[in-house]
Amino acid sequence: MRKLKDYVQEQRCEDGQPLQDGKKNAGKPPKKAMKYYMPVTADRQAAIDEKIKTVQGSIFGRPVNKIEIGTIRDVWVPYGYFVYDYEVGGKGLFKAKRAGRVHIIYDMNERHCMQYDEKESGALPLKKKDLSVEKRAFLKAAADRRGILRDVEDYVQMKIMYKTFGHKGEIKLVKQVDFYRPAVELEVFFKGRNRNIRFAYLDEYAVKSEHILGMKYRITH
């Protein structure tokens, strides 16, 4: 485990060099890994420094949390892009039927959803290539396909349909794309004991926020 000042000095000396995993065969990619992914656009060191500042917090410019950095590795974080058509209403008090489409981004590693505003932000800037040539570990999804779809559909029903219309609707999956986001995985210890894993993302959505932009509760209908 390294103190923060030791970590910062080490990073400045080794900037741009691949970091060791610390685990044998951890995240080893498959032989053929033609995958959709977000291109790296952010500066690696700047993203790490910004993430550390966020984790530390600050009051009047002074860090709030005392942290130490453990292992560090470059990773691909699995995500999913889901598009659903919906219909809601048409029965009882809901006589006027509404129909439309919603776009969802799902973090398969931490199992949480975000709504994507494609109308405002445009299509995701995904590329496709053999990711096995990259010196990054592949993180595994925290749930199987059935669990992922359950999480996403629960989110659509409760956070979008119910919140917008006060009623669940009929939803149909019309598009699904798995993709990866490039990130630096940081093992962070608070007060030398409490261990957390944090990610400094390196794609264009990580410049100001680690979440993909365009997450407004807009639905098309």
Q: List the alpha helices (DSSP H) in the chain.
A: 4-14, 44-56, 118-121, 145-155, 162-165
Domain coordinates of the chain in residue numbers?
Answer: 2-23+32-206
Amino acid sitting at position 212? I
The DSSP element (H or E) to which 78 belongs, if any, is strand 67-88
pTM given for the model: 0.77
Q: pLDDT tens digits, residue range 7-29? A: 444 443 333 333 333 344 445 55
Length of the chain: 221
What pLDDT is stored for residue 171 in this prediction? Answer: 96
Compute the radius of gyration of the chain from its Cα atoms: 20
State which residues of the chain have pLDDT below 70.
1-32, 60-61, 63, 90-95, 192, 207-221
Q: pLDDT tens digits, residue range 75-85? A: 999 999 999 99
Q: pLDDT tens digits, residue range 51-83? A: 888 887 777 667 677 878 889 999 999 999 999
